Amino acid sequence: MHDVFFFTDIHGCRPLFDAIMKYCYEMDDTPWIIFGGDAIDRGPDGYNIMKQLLDNPHITYLMGNHEDMFVKAAREIKQMFSFENADRDQVKTVLSACKNFDYKYAAIQDSLSNGGMPTLLDWVIDGMPMDLIERIEKLPRTISIGNRDFCHSGGVYNTFKRVADCEYNDLPIDPWTGDAIIWNRSTLNIGWAPNRIAIFGHTPTPYLPDYIDIQVNKIQPIKYAPTSNPAYTGEKLDMDTGAVFTGIAYVLNILTMQAQGFELKKDNQVEKIEVIQF
């Protein structure tokens, strides 16, 4: 059986992304890689990382909330602007000005306020390809392997299961339900399902104490078993270590449940750090 890896929330950090991808292919020449969403925004190279993820046949790319914002902002840009023959600085000036118009450019404003400028600029300069937008819109929101359930933000198992049981892009589904597993942080302190584990990102683990009653001593993935709802007895594993801010990212081997850490140093080199067994 080939190795299966999961990592998430790389947010345009090319050195960490390349190091993790190299590691996966060193461990297995044909790995199955699940990326948990939020390839883009904040960091400088998210747009190209996103395209690389889309084009790799070994990767299952899950929808993140930043991909969701990108799609909505890109469609708004396509509707409002042409940008024919505009250079990067001109595009940046126009997009920046959108912040000054309340409600008129809501999707663009939402993206920009969440670090979306690098991604939107690269997409516009790339010719505003709408086929790319359509591919991102069709990204799956969930995947399960045995008793391991993957999505972007976690949530609760019943919501996950409703989304997983739908062909999301073909059948009607409550938009809130679909968005809940790419946006929601309000249920982090609620467990999952008996004998199952949710593996996700979205909330950087240094921020977890703000949402759940847990002590976090270092920047690393955190596995926990919430107890505020006795109806749920499963576990949750948050793999988002805030890579673009902390310089630290982990990749999880799904079969061994070992997570290999990587740290971006000041010289822009990446070093392996500790391995965590879950």
Q: What pLDDT does residue 172 have?
A: 47
**Tokens 């929601």 — which residue?**
184
The number of beta carbons lying within 10 Å of the beta carbon of residue 152 is 29
Q: Is pLDDT above 90 for 20?
A: yes
Q: Report the mean per-residue pLDDT for the chain.
A: 93
> What integer pLDDT is reported at residue 175 of this predicted model?
52
The tally of CA atoms less than 13 A away on the side-chain side of residue 215 is: 1
Q: What is the pTM of this model?
A: 0.95
pLDDT at 42 over 90: yes
95-126: pLDDT as tens digits: 999 999 988 999 999 999 999 999 999 999 99
Class of domain 4-64+140-277: alpha beta
Choice among 80-84, 184-188, 189-193, 227-231 with the minimum mean pLDDT: 227-231
- CA dist 165 to 135, 150, 168, Å? 21, 14, 8
CA nearest 148: which of 220, 191, 189, 200?
200
Average pLDDT over residues 244-250: 97
d(CA 187, CA 75): 30
- Supply 240's token pair: 């988002």
Within a 13 Å sphere around the CA of 108, how many CA atoms are in the beta-carbon half?
25
Give the pLDDT of residue 174: 54
Spell out the domain ranges in the chain. Answer: 4-64+140-277, 68-132
CA dihedral for 189, 203, 61, 121, sign (positive or negative): positive
Q: How many CB atoms lie within 10 A of CB 158?
A: 12
Count H helices, E strands: the chain? 10, 11
Query: What is the per-residue pLDDT across 51-70, written as a single tens digit (0 to 9) for each?
Result: 999 999 999 999 999 999 99
pLDDT tens-digit series, residues 137-177: 999 999 999 999 999 999 889 889 988 887 554 544 555 55
